[in-house]
Amino acid sequence: MTNTIDFLATPLHEIYGSNCFSDAEMRARLPKSIYNELKAVQDGEKPLTLAVAEVVASAMKDWAIDKGATHYTHWFQPLTGSTAEKHDSFISPLPDGRVMMEFSGKELIKGEPDASSFPSGGLRATFEARGYTAWDTTSPAFVREDDSGVTLCIPTAFVSYNGEALDKKVPLLRSMDALNVQTLRVLRALGVSASKVTPSVGPEQEYFLIKRDLYEKRPDLMLSGRTLFGAMPPKGQEMDDHYFGSIKEPAAAFMKELNFELWKLGISAKTQHNEVAPNQFELAPIFDTANVATDRNQLVMASLEKIAARHGLVALLHEKPFAGVNGSGKHNNWSLSTDTGFNLLEPGESPHENAQFLLFLSAVIKAVDIYAPLLRATASNSGNDHRLGANEAPPAIISIFLGEQLESILENLSNGKVVETAAGEKLEIGKTSLPDLPKDLTDRNRTSPFAFTGNKFEFRMVPSSGSVAGPNTAINTAVAEVLSGFADILEKADDKNAAIAKIVKETYKAHKRVIFNGNGYSDEWVVEAKKRGLPNIKSTIEAIPVYSGDSSVELFCKHGVFSREELESRVEIYLEKYNMQINIEAKIMVEMAEKQIYSAVSKYTMQLSDTVIKAKQAVPEFNVNAFQNTLCKISVNVNRMMENVEELKLLIEEAGSEKDVEKASLVYREKVFPKMGELRLYGDAIESIIPREDWPFPNYEDLLFSL
């Protein structure tokens, strides 16, 4: 669709947020009383009334129609991992044959999509098709422009007939409420003025770009998102010449349009650069509230794919589309802010702020240590299994990087040793300020999965294709639980500073095992982590059952984030998704090996054999040893490849016949997946022998170095 805005002629400040029904737009279009009522609803101070919704719906409809919208949709995030929508037009026919444009408060507040085809993990029976979408008043509506026209999109939650969460937004919103309640308890006990506390998130998004015509010749990329065969070219990423390098024009042209489209939606795409692997890139936004940041990251992923297509490209969001080069992740930057504008993870400049900072820092340390298996589960999918623990991404062992200066302060405080400020004063909680903590000294370890980076924590395990809702739901709730315990102590304490000092000291001593500033990729760390008792969960099928473990159930149920049934449903859904993904990949490998690689090998060996025979006939003394050796190498590899194909078929059948989802996942992980690796070895060996022009697919050199 042609852009309705001339990017060159229109000032950027007019472009930014032009397709977003922002707070400024609502303030301009709504009566002041209605605007104030809606703000109270957003802040959780009042319930939404139909009267308010009617006025907002009318203003939202008029704004969207002014933008060219003909339809509206409740935009939601089911447990498929992507987004979903059903479009309804604003048109309402009149008796005289004309139409009027209508959109009611009821239609804004609630929708009724068919829930029967979305995964529910047993929360509803197949015949119970009814599901409901409910307007999330805190996430701005927006219009989307594409070849279908202009559509008003209303961010919504998705629940079953009985109110169970069928999506990722509902638990996230519940976790934000829980975190707000417990954080305010702590702040009020300390005499700090605040009415609301909100987790802020900035998700950095990594992705690959490749040419569409090459992509369409690779059935593995088209159907699974990753290359299942592919020999490494002579050059990969070892020269370190792509990271932060000059962006090639095709990628730059794509990024230019991407930025403008995101800016129109009010998404503050701030940073873009080349990543480590060839044709790999990263986009980073400015922070937003956790639920809005989650919604907007979904829009970023959708925009990457949509706009890449306009440029003859494909954006690959899979965690490991290419073997032998770095995969892609998503860095989830998390902080905690009050409605008065103070970041609770900012060390601050006063003794009072210093004490708060150490208290909330301790809360995160304890939460990560206790609930590390849960955090690991939220970062699990089949694609991330290729990354976590490899020498390119955070290890599968969760630890926290604090930096030597901050760790030293906590260590000394916990042991009653003297810590001096920059001015030479003895550091006492609530009496003196922390020594200066330069931010550029706190982010030096890229191997850490959970790093403190000056005034926020960066969870680096999140899969590039996944939603950040799950990880943030877990972080919010885990920290809320720890703060709940802190609040119990502080509310009864007469001397708050002494209470904080004791909490910080005891928390650090009990949970310092999770702090590690060293090389997370080293073999020594694996041994050391085991000594410390830190869990090393290496695969998705080990991680996912943590959701329904006693610790997770107790945590989430206590804070009203998930019910036991909702957690059990996630285990079934996520394991089933894992099984389906591996099953699809295995079947694609079989087809590629049987129908394309074998055919190409047969054709080439026939040509080579004919050449040898004709050469020998023409010149009897002609030495054919090299040709025969090549034929023998091909023969050995193709025979082993086809043997593995037959073995893989049997394993696929074995896994598919297993009715229990957890038992099936074991077969897929422990039998099917390793056999796929064996099959690939022989396919890649054949690719390295056969001439490029005779190979049936674009190779890694084409995919990674042509843009």
Q: State the pLDDT at residue 1.
A: 42
Secondary structure class of 160 (helix, strand, coil): strand
Residue 219 has pLDDT above 50, yes or no: yes
| Residue 406 to residue 626: CA distance in whole angstroms | 64
Candidate from 57-66, 87-96, 321-330, 472-481 with smallest mean pLDDT: 87-96
pLDDT confidence band for 550 (50 / 70 / 90): very high
Q: To the nearest whole percent, how much of the chain has pLDDT over 90?
A: 74
Secondary structure class of 84 (helix, strand, coil): strand
Residue 123 has pLDDT above 80, yes or no: no
Residue with tokens 């150490």: 358
Q: State the pLDDT at residue 29.
A: 96
Residue 129 has pLDDT above 80, yes or no: no
| Average pLDDT of every residue of the chain | 91
| DSSP codes of every residue in 257-279 | HHHHHHHHTT--EEEEEE-SSTT
User: Which residue has better confidence, 94 or 207?
Assistant: 207
H-state helical runs in 16-104: 23-29, 32-42, 50-66
Residues 628-644: what's their mean pLDDT?
95
Residues 499-518: what's their mean pLDDT?
96
Residues 312-318: what's their mean pLDDT?
98
| DSSP codes of every residue in 558-605 | HTTS--HHHHHHHHHHHHHHHHHHHHHHHHHHHHIIIIIIHHHHHHHH
Residue with tokens 């003909």: 70
Residues 588-615: what's their mean pLDDT?
94
CA-nearest of 395, 335, 664, 647 to 518 is 395
Q: What is the pLDDT of residues 652-681, one digit of tens each?
A: 999 999 999 999 999 999 999 999 999 999
Residues 85-91: what's their mean pLDDT?
88
Q: State the pLDDT at residue 154.
A: 96
Residues 345-372: what's their mean pLDDT?
92
Q: State the pLDDT at residue 454.
A: 87
pLDDT confidence band for 95 (50 / 70 / 90): confident
User: Which residue has better confidence, 148 or 138?
Assistant: 138
Q: What is the pLDDT of residues 26-40, one digit of tens each?
A: 999 999 999 999 999
How many of the other CB atoms lie within 10 Å of CB of 615? 14
Residue with tokens 């990087």: 401
Q: Which amino acid is at 92?
A: S
Q: State the pLDDT at residue 163.
A: 86
| Residue 542 to residue 534: CA distance in whole angstroms | 15
Sign of the Cα pseudo-torsion (177, 183, 187, 189, in order): positive
Q: What is the pLDDT of residues 337-348, one digit of tens each?
A: 999 999 999 988
| Residue 589 to residue 439: CA distance in whole angstroms | 47
Residue 554 has pLDDT above 80, yes or no: yes
Q: State the pLDDT at residue 97.
A: 66
Q: State the pLDDT at residue 391.
A: 61
Phi, psi of 213 (to 5 degrees): -65, -30
Domains of the chain: 12-167 (3.10.20.70), 176-223+239-562 (3.30.590.10), 577-705 (1.20.120.1560)
Supply the pTM of this predicted model: 0.94
User: Which residue has better confidence, 399 or 615?
Assistant: 399
Helix axes 550-558, 469-490, angle to 10 degrees: 70
| Residue 155 to residue 142: CA distance in whole angstroms | 9
Q: What is the pLDDT of residues 318-338, one digit of tens each?
A: 999 999 999 999 999 999 999
